[in-house]
Structure 1
């Protein structure tokens, strides 16, 4: 199977299924496994590099209002890759290339490829998506084994945290302006032994205000800016600290362990669970989450 992954989460799933050698095209964000040096990069960002949260938010809003894409597709490179299976999404036009653009390109290029649209909204949907990718790639047994292992780890977290007090957790998916979390993020907080505040299970993240954030009266704020790693989350937490004085903060590598709908969401839940309940679960490897004093 020749697989073109137009979504970093899908690339991660393909890697976890042991199908790295089947990848023939990826995106500029596909770093797990990092195959960008050895595979054609067919999707790139239309946004300039090196922008801060407020600048990114302003440019994304402006491009959306003008009907401009947030990503570019290298159609020639996709044609030359000649995939038999294309993995794409229609969940978020800000986070990845939309499925409609892919369908138009395949039709224009005359590529007779199967297309699997991966659109999970909840944590259970993510697990279902892993199995769907496995089926489409002819790796049903590997998919069942991977999802079975992830479910066992989730059950172990549930058992370790049973009966414990749940701190009130305000997760922020963006910091300038602040955004309430959506999709699977509230469920991640809940499975990690917290009580999620101001989020919408299975829904979209929504812009809010700092007054509203303070009104939630959280016990802790989880700084998880979409698409950013741990160092950037720590840096952006300084603005949160200024706005939410006196509230304990956690910063997490959101790009790897929160917003990417792949197997590492369970790693993220384990990391958050340890940060909230350090005596209940083992500490995660360095570089995933930081408790800020």
Structure 2
């Protein structure tokens, strides 16, 4: 099957269930598996200028949202030439990836009858269901089911390891200028890792808050949406003076926190290891770091 993935999480899922060779299109953000953009045409790019600081990005996003302008640009002609049979996209967040409505408009313009599978999880179980859905719709049901079973086993193992331990209050900052409290599956991620999430709403949208109104926490995790560990360290260092009495962790959010793919389980394991180092093995380098 010819598959176009217009969502980094979907690209990761497709590769994890053995469909990487079926991909005919990806986005500029698709970076897992490594080198995928060198092998598969990129048909989605960002509409945002490069090189902006977090506060500048927030200002541009707010301005474009207010004017009804898209955050992403799809090369509809290129997509049409690639003749996908299945298109993987999302409607969860128009800031994070191309929304399904834009894809439908492009397909209508091209006269394409490609099937569109929208991946819109709000919980960890929803993410696992999305993995199964991509595998089943893409023609790899057995591999997908086996992967979901393995991931559930790892989640169960973390749950047993932290079950009877004291739970620190954990504040996850999804952005730092201004501060955003993480929603969607992130509070559940904290809970599964043996913490008690403060701020944010389970299965809800991320929300902004003033620094003075941040909830009390025992640990702060800086996991800026779409950024890796190096950038998370930089943003965490910038906010550390504002939170001098609270331990601060930096986390690779792009891979292990906000991307709704198999590596969310890696993220739960990494956070559990940081919160409960005497019960859960530390994560490999590059995932999470204490300032």
TM-score tier, shorter chain, comes to over 0.9
Correspondence 1:62 to 2:63: yes
Question: 1:17 aligns to what?
Answer: 17
1:111-157, CA deviations, whole angstroms, 9 ceiling, x for partnerless residues?
Answer: 12111011011111111111111111011111110110000000000
For 1:38-117, list aligned pairs within 5 A.
38-117=39-118
Residue 80 (structure 1) shift: 1.2
Distance 1:280 1:289 in 2: 17
Correspondence 1:127 to 2:128: yes
Distance 2:109 2:181 in 1: 39
Distance 1:46 1:209 in 2: 28
Distance 1:114 1:220 in 2: 44
1:23-51, CA deviations, whole angstroms, 9 ceiling, x for partnerless residues?
Answer: 00000011101311111100000001111
1:173 match: secondary structure:
strand
Question: 1:283 aligns to what?
Answer: 282
Distance 2:216 2:137 in 1: 45
For 1:150-169, list aligned pairs within 5 A.
150-169=151-170
Distance 1:187 1:287 in 2: 22
Query: For the aligned residues, what is the CA RMSD?
Result: 0.7
Distance 2:163 2:86 in 1: 42
Distance 1:71 1:149 in 2: 34
> Which consecutive aligned stretches of 4+ in structure 1 deviate over 6 angstroms post-superposition?
none
Count how many residue pairs are aligned between Structure 1 and Structure 2: 290
Equivalent pair of 2:180/2:208 in contact (CA under 8 Å): yes
Correspondence 1:247 to 2:285: no
Question: 1:192 aligns to what?
Answer: 193
Question: 1:262 aligns to what?
Answer: 261
Q: TM-score, normalised by structure 1?
A: 0.98
Distance 2:282 2:271 in 1: 10
Distance 1:175 1:121 in 2: 22
2:274 match: secondary structure:
helix
Distance 1:98 1:52 in 2: 24
Question: 1:274 aligns to what?
Answer: 273
Distance 1:141 1:168 in 2: 39
2:220 match: secondary structure:
strand
Distance 2:134 2:41 in 1: 20
1:225-249, CA deviations, whole angstroms, 9 ceiling, x for partnerless residues?
Answer: 0001100000001222111111100
Gap regions ≥5 residues in structure 1: none
Question: 1:227 aligns to what?
Answer: 226
